[in-house]
Structure 1
Amino acid sequence: MDQSQVESRMTSPFETTANISYKDIKATARIVSEEPRSCTVSFTSPSSLNGMSFAFAKDKLTVDYNGISFDLDPSNLPGGAVAKMVVSAVNSATEPQGVHVELKESSVEVSGLIEAGEFLLKLDPKSGNFLKLSIPASELEMEFINFCPL
């Protein structure tokens, strides 16, 4: 998988389930990205976040909870911060400068720097599907399950 294939995967619509560890929060969410620079994170656990979704697009965050929605600064809520970091890391991986792509035995590793810190995004070397995203400085780890291009 070369840089152009990585860029193609990053800008293609997808949906996935993610196991998320963010600071002291452990959560599971469905993530859907139908266009570049946007995604919707819909939490299924823990129970305190179940039914809450965060739609992030171009520095705008819309929070929806049981049919009530409102706009917020993405950094004001943990779910919004997670959505912003996912979008930022994926967007950064498509940039021609500032990212490093390395083929490992079990994954393609895309690394770079975003506002939240250095990130490492692991992709399946055959399909290009997302496997894991780590942003250590922000204490974010995400494991992607059932990644599916749309």
Structure 2
Amino acid sequence: MKRSLRIIGACLALSLMLSGCGAGNGGQPSENEQEKVSSSLNRGFDAKATIKMGDIEAEADINRTKEGVCTVQLTSPKGLSGMTFSFDQENVTVSYMGLSLELDNNSVLTSSMTKAVVASINMAAEPHGVTMALEGEALVIKGTTESGDFALKLDRSNYSILTLSIPNLDLECNFNPFSYQE
């Protein structure tokens, strides 16, 4: 009987000690880490992205040179390969097969999957208006743009973007590879 009580006591003590091991999985990142994330996301980057929106699937090269300035060039599907969307603070330029069209950022045409991706990344880079939470080895940033709520998942070790989800648009985007510019 005493032996059983000792075993139960040891198991209880072990479970209490181990219950703290998962503390990094969930919760809030520190204020210092939140500042590092914002600083990282405001840097330029290059990425290849696979974007799925409903039944549409596209691949793109994304290049962000500075805050609010981003170029998205579709590489597939074949019929849209080479179409380029260049975003700056106020305008969007769409280029395809030698033709270019400059549009106001609020144009119906620009409320597309590319604009939703760029707007979500820009919003996530802001220190206010978003929430950050730890999820295993990832950091998840949630916020809202005119396209709806989004969740941007980052690798916690280097803050590279892993995935973007915008449920309102049935949009999922995977970034691989992703690298910040020096």
- Regarding TM over 0.5, the answer is yes
* Corresponding residue number in structure 2 for 1:11: 42
Amino-acid identity (%): 39
Find the partner of 1:76 among 108, 111, 135: 108
* Corresponding residue number in structure 2 for 1:119: 150
Alignment pair present for 1:148 and 2:153: no
The 5 Å alignment of 1:54-69 reads 54-69=85-100
Cα distance in 2 for partners of 1:94, 1:27 equals 24
By how many angstroms is 1:123 displaced? 0.2
In structure 2, list runs of 5 or more residues that go unmatched. 1-28
* Corresponding residue number in structure 2 for 1:99: 130
When the two structures are aligned, how many residues end up with a matched partner?
149
By how many angstroms is 1:73 displaced? 4.2
Letter in 1 for 2:115: K
Q: Is the 8 A contact 2:50 2:57 kept in 1?
A: yes
Cα distance in 2 for partners of 1:26, 1:83 equals 12
> C-alpha deviations, 1:29-72, integer Å up to 9, x for none?
00000010121110110011111111111231101112221112
By how many angstroms is 1:140 displaced? 1.5
Cα distance in 1 for partners of 2:177, 2:70 equals 17
Cα distance in 2 for partners of 1:95, 1:13 equals 15
With 62-71 and 126-135 compared, the bigger mean Cα shift is at 62-71
Cα distance in 2 for partners of 1:121, 1:61 equals 23
Instruction: Give 1 or 2: higher strand fraction.
Output: 1
Give SS of 2:119's match: helix
Q: TM-score, normalised by structure 1?
A: 0.91
* Corresponding residue number in structure 1 for 2:167: 136
Give SS of 1:97's match: coil
Q: TM-score, normalised by structure 2?
A: 0.76
Instruction: Give 1 or 2: higher helix fraction.
Output: 2
Give SS of 2:78's match: coil
Structure number with bigger Rg: 2
By how many angstroms is 1:141 displaced? 1.0
